[in-house]
């Protein structure tokens, strides 16, 4: 049997996390089919057909899929589900919204947010904000699985030539209507995939003070993150939140500034390769996960940090 | 309008959990329990809608062991009118919870069902969407703003790229994000009043729902420990270490 992977895209480009999900899918079974549901999304289907791990692309185009709605996607997936042993997608807000709706209609108990594929039916997943890992075996006939993207490398995007097959649209939903999406555009690397992340917490004291973070992030070509406390306080928008209920990031370098290190924040960043903590409270829990801790007032330390960075001849990008 | 709010009893979010020595799960004995945090937002929103005169009744429901009654009681103390406890022993998967909630919806006939977007114990993030599927109702997940209209809701959702707005017809399921509102604390008089509010107890068996686990939990382990780091004395030392030792800048 084969794996059906649901692609996330904007009708022009595939979203990066779909590539991570493809890697995980091909560990489950080599016969990976990718379903692209959209409107004039032929380019997306074409680019996915070039991913070497993909064996087939099913492209469903209809104006009703101009914007993603779980209700609409689900009807298409259910129609195709009989041919597959697994239905998978990325465990971000796209996949988290979609997969349970599919699973319930198939009467399947979903396995969410896997971090490891152990076999076709057995997976590892974090529970309690990553403070424990459960190994679970799904006994359902079809397995519905969402994949934590940062736990798998993205699949390569060239070299493949999968067949593209057109699929049929399903009936359009009348109970839900898309109104608008306010995307926050930025020239920075995306938080979920950036090599370096600089995050600010409640210690920043104001949104205005985040310019100190921005200056360092500019220098390091980093994404900007934030703790839930900083987002709740209105210092920065929600799309920057790192944590159990925000984004999970695994950069090479994570710099936590003025973040105490609540359990739910640590859940989103403690797998980072190198962690730096700058905090004036030497007892802050963030120091327990930091490779390099600097006990200092961030308002002194950040300008100095930038100064020192400026002295370096080269900085990795 | 009538609003049903589902609440879950979980280990308190401030508790550092411990894995059982036999790797069969997480220690829950003598551990502080409380309402799943985003479920508090769900209750708050329902109560606010009622206070604005747009809903007549708020019913809190929990699926869990006997002690989950405390969680229902807490919802009553912050403004829910009455409670329902569906008793189940042991771990229950979101699919089974959504089937139970479907039965409750069929009985109670609410116009809206609210719940938190995710429980902080199993981190599944499934129940609301599953219930919506089983009822063939629209779903508005990760809600950070809800506007009640005549026969629909306009919901702002927190998505990876920013914010998305959708309109869902009533009846609908909404799963709530932490930024939807600021949950209130129960006042002492309201806690006392809540003791008199009714909680109906039902067993999952009476509802005819199969609650058997489909997923086998093979083991639960501690995450790999990070090796202890060091404290640096100055910014200069920090930059030097990042450059020459960690080689990340």
| Interface A:B, Cβ pairs < 8 A | 260
pLDDT value of residue B185: 94
Q: Is B188 on the interface with A (CB under 8 A)?
A: no
Domain boundaries, chain B: 2-244
Instruction: Supply the pLDDT for residue B227.
Output: 79
Domains of chain A and CATH, by start: 2-166 (3.40.50.620), 196-311 (3.40.50.1220)
Cβ within 8 Å of A, B 8-27: 11, 13-14, 16-17, 19, 26
B111 at interface of A, judged by CB pairs closer than 8 A: no
B225 chain-A contacts, CB cut-off 8 A: none
Best residue in A89, A96, A196 for a mutation probing chain B (most B CBs within 10 Å)? A96
Q: Residue A238: what pLDDT?
A: 84
Mean pLDDT estimate for chain A: 95
Asked if residue A14 lies in contact with residue A7, where contact means CB atoms within 8 angstroms, the answer is: yes
Residue A180: list chain B partners with CB under 8 A: 164-165
Rounded to an integer, the average pLDDT of A167-183 is 95
Residue A129, chain B, CB below 8 Å: the answer is yes
Contact: B163, A263; criterion CB under 8 Å: no
Q: Which residues of chain B lie closer than 8 angstroms to A301, CB-CB?
A: 235
Instruction: Mutation target for A interface from B91, B215, B230: give the one with most A CBs within 10 A.
Output: B215
More confident residue, B162 or B128: B128
CB A169 within 8 A of CB A64: yes
Minimum distance, in Å, between the CA of residue A163 and any CA atom of chain B: 31
Over the stretch A72-101, which tens digit does the pLDDT of each residue have? 999 999 999 999 999 999 999 999 999 999
Q: Indicate yes or no: CB of B118 within 8 angstroms of CB of A252.
A: no
Q: Scanning the structure block, which residue is given the tokens 């190994």? A: A135
Mean pLDDT, chain B, whole residue set: 96
Secondary structure of chain A as H, E, C letters: CEEEEECCECCCCECHHHHHHHHHHHHHCCCEEEEEEECCCHHHHHHHHCCCCEEEEEEEECHHHCCCCHHHHHHHHHHHHHHEEEEEEECCHHHHHHHHHHHHHCCCCCEEEECEECCCCEEEEEEHHHCEEEEEEECCCCEEEEECHHHCCCCCCCCCCCEEEECCCCCCCCCEEEEEEEECCCCCCCCCCCCEEEEECHHHCCCCCHHHHHHHHHHHCCEEEECHHHHHCCCCCHHHEECCCCECCCCCEEEEECCCCCHHHHHHHCCCCEEEEEECCCCCHHHHCCCEEEECCHHHHHHHHHHHHHHCCCCCC
Q: What is the pLDDT of residues A237-251, one digit of tens each?
A: 888 999 987 888 999
Question: Residue A89 corresponds to which tokens in the numbers above?
Answer: 């997608």
Nearest residue on chain B to A264, judged by CA atoms? B13
Q: Which of the pair, B78 or A129, is modelled with greater confidence?
A: B78
Residue numbers in A near B131 (CB within 8 A): 104
Q: Answer whether A49 touches B (CB < 8 Å).
A: no
Task: Test B219 with A138 for CB contact under 8 angstroms.
Answer: no
Superfamily of domain B2-244: HUPs (3.40.50.620)
Write the residue in B138, B167, B226 that is nearest to A289 by C-beta.
Answer: B226
**Residue B207 is encoded by which pair of tokens?**
């509802």
Mind listing the pLDDT tens digit for each residue in B41-66?
Answer: 999 999 999 999 999 999 999 999 99
Q: Hey, are the CB atoms on B19 and A132 less than 8 Å from each other?
A: yes
Q: Is pLDDT of B77 > 90?
A: yes
Tell me the residues of chain B between 57 and 86 that have a Cβ less than 8 Å away from chain A: none
- Judged by CB atoms closer than 8 Å, whether chains meet at A220 and B160 is answered as no
Q: What is the pLDDT of residues A212-241, one digit of tens each?
A: 999 999 999 999 999 999 998 999 988 899
- Considering CB atoms only, which of B95, B140, B162 is closest to A182? B162
B113 vs B225 pLDDT, higher one? B113
Q: How confident is the model at residue A190 (pLDDT cuts 50, 70, 90)?
A: confident
B133 in contact with chain A, both atoms CB, cutoff 8 A: yes
Query: Tokens representing A256?
Result: 């936590």
Distance of alpha carbon B58 from the chain centroid: 16
A279 in reach of chain B (CB within 8 A): no
Q: What pLDDT sits at residue B228?
A: 77
Instruction: Report the percentage of chain A scoring pLDDT > 70.
Output: 100
Phi then psi dihedrals of residue B193, to 5 deg: -60, -35
| Token pair listed for A255 | 């710099």
Percentage of chain B exceeding pLDDT 70: 100
pLDDT of residue A313: 81
Give me the residue from B164, B217, B248 closest to A134, CB to CB: B217
């Amino acid at each position: 049997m084969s794996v059906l992977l649901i692609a996330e895209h904007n009708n022009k480009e595939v979203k990066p996390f779909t590539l991570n999900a493809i890697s995980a899918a091909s560990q489950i079974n080599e016969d990976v089919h990718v379903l692209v549901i959209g409107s004039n999304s032929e380019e997306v289907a074409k680019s996915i057909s070039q991913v070497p791990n993909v064996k087939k692309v099913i492209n469903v185009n209809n104006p009703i899929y101009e914007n993603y709605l779980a209700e609409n996607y689900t009807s298409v997936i259910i129609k195709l589900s009989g041919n597959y042993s697994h239905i998978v997608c990325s465990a971000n807000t796209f996949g988290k919204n979609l997969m349970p709706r599919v699973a319930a209609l198939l009467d399947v108990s979903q396995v969410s947010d896997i971090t490891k594929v152990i076999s076709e039916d057995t997976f590892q997943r974090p529970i309690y904000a990553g403070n424990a890992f459960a190994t679970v075996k799904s006994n359902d006939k079809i397995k519905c699985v969402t994949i934590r993207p940062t736990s798998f490398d993205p699949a390569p995007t060239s070299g493949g030539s999968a067949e593209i097959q057109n699929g049929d649209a399903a009936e359009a939903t009348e109970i839900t209507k898309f109104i608008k999406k306010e995307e926050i555009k930025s020239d920075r690397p995306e938080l979920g995939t950036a090599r370096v992340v600089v995050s600010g917490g409640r210690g920043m004291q104001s949104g205005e003070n985040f310019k100190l973070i921005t200056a360092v992030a500019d220098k390091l070509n980093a994404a900007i993150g934030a703790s839930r406390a900083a987002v709740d306080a209105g210092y920065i928008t929600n799309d920057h939140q790192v944590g159990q209920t925000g984004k999970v990031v695994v950069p090479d370098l994570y710099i936590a500034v003025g973040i105490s290190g609540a359990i739910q924040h640590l859940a989103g960043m403690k797998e980072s390769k190198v962690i730096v903590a700058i905090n004036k409270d030497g007892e802050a829990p963030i120091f327990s996960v930091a490779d390099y801790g600097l006990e200092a007032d961030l308002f002194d330390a950040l300008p100095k940090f930038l100064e020192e960075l400026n002295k370096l001849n080269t900085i990795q990008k | 309008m009538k609003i049903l709010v589902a609440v879950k009893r979980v280990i308190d979010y401030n508790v550092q959990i411990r894995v059982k020595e036999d790797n069969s799960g997480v220690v829950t004995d003598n551990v502080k329990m409380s309402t799943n945090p985003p479920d508090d937002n769900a209750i708050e929103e329902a109560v606010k809608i009622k206070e604005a005169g747009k809903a007549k009744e708020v019913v809190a429901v929990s699926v869990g062991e006997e002690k989950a009654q405390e969680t229902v009681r807490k919802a009553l103390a912050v403004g829910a009118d009455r409670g329902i406890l569906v008793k189940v022993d042991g771990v229950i998967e979101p699919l089974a919870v959504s089937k139970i909630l479907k039965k409750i919806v069929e009985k109670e006939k609410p116009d809206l069902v609210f719940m938190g977007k995710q429980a902080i114990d199993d981190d599944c993030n499934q129940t609301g969407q599953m219930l919506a599927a089983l009822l063939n109702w629209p779903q508005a997940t990760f809600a950070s703003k809800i506007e009640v209209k005549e026969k629909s809701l306009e919901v702002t959702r927190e998505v990876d790229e920013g914010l998305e707005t959708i309109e869902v017809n009533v009846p609908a399921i909404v799963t709530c994000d932490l930024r939807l509102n600021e949950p209130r604390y129960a006042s002492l008089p309201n806690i006392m009043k809540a003791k008199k509010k009714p909680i109906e107890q039902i067993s999952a068996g009476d509802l005819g729902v199969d609650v058997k686990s489909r997923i086998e939990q093979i083991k639960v382990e501690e995450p790999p420990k990070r090796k202890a780091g060091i404290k640096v004395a100055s910014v200069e030392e920090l930059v030097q270490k990042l450059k020459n030792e960690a080689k990340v800048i």
